[in-house]
Amino acid sequence: MNEKTKGMRAGLANYGDAGFSLFLRKAFIAAMGYSDDALERPIIGITDTFSGYNACHRNVPEVIDAIKRGVMLAGGLPIEFPVVSIHEAFSNPTSMFLRNLMAMDTEELVRAQPMDAVVLIGGCDKTVPALLMGAASANVPAIMTVTGPMITGHHRGERLGACTDCRRLWGKHRAGEISAAEIQELTGKLAPAAGTCMVMGTASTMALMTEAMGMMLPGGAAIPAVHADRLRHAEATGARAVAMAAEGLTPDKIMTPAALANALRVLHAVGGSTNALVHLAAVAGRLGFDLDLEAFDRMGLETPVLVDLKPSGQHYMEDLHRAGGLTTILREIKPLMNLDCVTVSGKTLGQQIEEAPPSWPQEVVRPLDNPIYSKGGIRLLRGNLAPKGAIIKESAASPVLMQHTGRAVVFESLEDMDRRIDSPDLDVRADDVLVLRNAGPKGAPGMPESGYIPIPRKLAQQGVKDMVRLSDARMSGTAFGTIVLHACPEAAVGGPIALVRTGDLIRLDVPAGQLELLVDEDELMRRRAEWVAPEWTGAERGYRRLWFDQVLQADEGCDFAFLRNPTTTGTVP
Ligand code: FES
Ligand code: MG
């Protein structure tokens, strides 16, 4: 084993005798059937995120095959290992609750096991941020690829995408426009293939941001899961991992504040998921950077939404791939990007854009001077209801509700909402503001995507399509509406959203970036004195206990406090 190929020595278990430790390690790896020749090479770990519960990762085995091929063609030895895999629909109480577990698993297994570099296979919403968080903390050379978006489905002549159309069609069912039988028929059509949701949900957003921050080879974010390009990208990723091992190109050299700022810029330009802001805050925290939400908000004023994808627009990820993927977007926003950032390719972002094939006529990515939406997709709101911020996806909201004052209709919890929202007795009007609380990081727990509060049935049946809704929860990136999210601090830790009462007036002013509870300060102080903190049930032991002890608020990415880098050395963007 020479100096260049430290693989088997990396993270050597310590028996107090290094020679013996290496001997033992070699004896056990020999049991895998490797020859000495195979082991005299850089070892490239590959995170196996396949799971029978994760349809978005159904193609992981073939992606791994392609990565292995690339590693071996470049002279390395690929070794795959399992890490936690999380699917949005099968994670109770929420996938967010498990994201930090996956990040811890990734960090410790990358650090503990012998590998000179690691290939991360992300896909479904929480997996990409979890892998990035783990890799940032382990700081072993790392490169990401993803499973890729699903191709679209079709239903009675209409093109469908999960899960924007899941919500839209369910909304129609609630309003009585679609029968139970048709809903049954649709279950086989909304997610018709392996891969991730094919709209601009969290998975697509995180993949594009990962490519923009330089952690993925060009083009990787948009290639459909079933496309042969997906496997070619995986092969190239494996080959590049071998070179990165030799170069010592660690995540801290790539995920700089400037690179993370590029990711935030792309978040605006693609009209991406609000969840991405929470995840980017978590990744930044691992690297010792604070996320400056005000600066992100200002960035949005000069970054238009260019990508015409559902839910803000009309196309799907496979169309973006045909239009040239992220590179087509980057070419448009190039003047706004930090072009000197080094990426996993070893080149700078600027070089990559220069070297990309020329553009061609397409309808998915608009030019900078003819955007879908003249400002960034996401706005920050401040005010007495959210002193540490709340956000709204303005590009998916109703323009007529951007400045609105309405009566609060408060739901105490998800259970309370479920019980009452469709009641014919609910005192609610279309100009009210629906408030859901105790659905934040600790409240639910796990900050569920319940911010997409359904329109009360009696209003839906009258044709009401949108209302101002406010919560301390998150929302799926595939959802739409005038929905204020991540009210911070959350109700469960005594944030001001805990003090709202039904009938209070709430004023939303998106252009001014304000969210105010129109109740005077004395009254709020009185209510605060009466407020009783909720008791956490079932949190006496285990991971749930860790969650309640450690989870941070949305503005700090809902990471665990002890997992952040203890030294803050910069600010993003
Ligand atoms: Fe996995 Fe949407 S459920 S990406
Ligand atoms: Mg989602």
pLDDT-derived band at 3, boundaries 50, 70, 90:
very low
Alpha-carbon distance of 346 to 298, in angstroms, equals: 31
Q: What is the ipTM of this complex?
A: 0.90
To which residue do tokens 């083009």 refer?
219
Alpha-carbon distance of 234 to 227, in angstroms, equals: 11
Alpha-carbon distance of 384 to 525, in angstroms, equals: 12
Tell me the best of 50, 57, 167, 197 to mutate to test the pocket of ligand 1, counting ligand atoms within 8 Å of each CB and taking the most. Answer: 197
pLDDT at 189: 95
Tell me the best of 196, 200, 275 to mutate to test the pocket of ligand 1, counting ligand atoms within 8 Å of each CB and taking the most. Answer: 196
**Is the pLDDT at 345 greater than 50, yes or no?**
yes
pLDDT at 311: 83
Look up residue 547 and give its two tokens: 């969650």
Q: What percent of the chain has pLDDT over 90?
A: 87
Residue nearest to atom 3 of ligand 1 (CA): 88
Cβ atoms of 272 and 377 closer than 8 Å: yes
pLDDT at 313: 85
pLDDT at 478: 77
pLDDT-derived band at 480, boundaries 50, 70, 90:
confident
**Is the pLDDT at 553 greater than 70, yes or no?**
yes
pLDDT at 408: 98
For ligand 1, what atom is nearest to the CA of residue 89? Answer: 3
pLDDT at 2: 43
- Angle at which helix 275-287 crosses helix 95-112, to 10 degrees, equals 30
pLDDT-derived band at 6, boundaries 50, 70, 90:
low
Q: What percent of the chain has pLDDT over 70?
A: 98
| More confident: 433 or 3 | 433
Mean of the pLDDT values across residues 495-507?
A: 98
Alpha-carbon distance of 29 to 337, in angstroms, equals: 45
Mean of the pLDDT values across residues 125-140?
A: 98
For residue 69, the tally of other CB atoms under 10 A from its CB is: 16
Measured at the alpha carbon of residue 348, what is the angle toward residues 343 and 353, in degrees to the nearest 5?
Answer: 105
**Average pLDDT of the chain?**
95
pLDDT at 4: 45
What is the Å distance from ligand 2's center to 429 Cα? Answer: 29
Q: Which residues contact 155 (CB under 8 A, 6 or more apart)?
A: 185, 186, 189
> Which alpha helices (H) appear in 334-422, and where do they start and end?
349-355, 414-420
Mean of the pLDDT values across residues 489-510?
A: 98
- pTM for the predicted model, two decimal places: 0.96
- Return the H-helix or E-strand segment holding 43: strand 43-48
Outline where DSSP puts E strands in 137-245: 142-146, 153-155, 158-160
Tell me the best of 49, 60, 87 to mutate to test the pocket of ligand 1, counting ligand atoms within 8 Å of each CB and taking the most. Answer: 87
For ligand 1, what atom is nearest to the CA of residue 87? Answer: 1
Q: What is the pLDDT of residues 142-179, one digit of tens each?
A: 999 999 999 999 999 999 999 889 988 998 998 889 99
Measured at the alpha carbon of residue 561, what is the angle toward residues 555 and 567, in degrees to the nearest 5?
Answer: 90
Alpha-carbon distance of 138 to 203, in angstroms, equals: 23
pLDDT at 535: 84
Q: What is the pLDDT of residues 431-468, one digit of tens each?
A: 999 999 999 999 989 999 999 999 999 999 899 999 99
Ligand 1 binding residues, C-beta < 6 A? 56, 87-89, 124-125, 196-197, 201, 203
> Which alpha helices (H) appear in 139-201, and where do they start and end?
164-174, 180-186
Mean of the pLDDT values across residues 468-474?
A: 98
Q: What is the pLDDT of residues 346-404, one digit of tens each?
A: 999 999 999 999 999 999 999 999 999 998 889 999 999 999 999 999 988 999 999 99
The separation between CA 365 and the C-alpha centre of its own chain, rounded to angstroms, equals 21
Mean of the pLDDT values across residues 271-279?
A: 95
Look up residue 519 and give its two tokens: 């109740």
Output b/e per residue, 29-42; b: 16+ Cβ within 10 A: beeeeeeeeebebb
Q: What is the pLDDT of residues 66-114, one digit of tens each?
A: 999 999 999 999 999 999 999 999 999 999 999 999 999 999 999 999 9
pLDDT-derived band at 13, boundaries 50, 70, 90:
low
**Is the pLDDT at 5 greater than 60, yes or no?**
no
- Strand-pair partners of 159: 154
Q: What is the pLDDT of residues 15-26, one digit of tens each?
A: 788 888 888 888
pLDDT-derived band at 10, boundaries 50, 70, 90:
low
Give me the residues near ligand 2 (ion), CB cutoff below 5 Å: 125, 201-202, 476
pLDDT at 534: 87
Residue nearest to atom 2 of ligand 1 (CA): 197
pLDDT at 1: 40
Q: What is the pLDDT of residues 241-268, one digit of tens each?
A: 999 999 999 999 999 999 999 999 999 9
- Angle at which helix 326-333 crosses helix 202-212, to 10 degrees, equals 60
Cβ atoms of 86 and 99 closer than 8 Å: yes
Look up residue 344 and give its two tokens: 């996993």
Alpha-carbon distance of 106 to 413, in angstroms, equals: 33
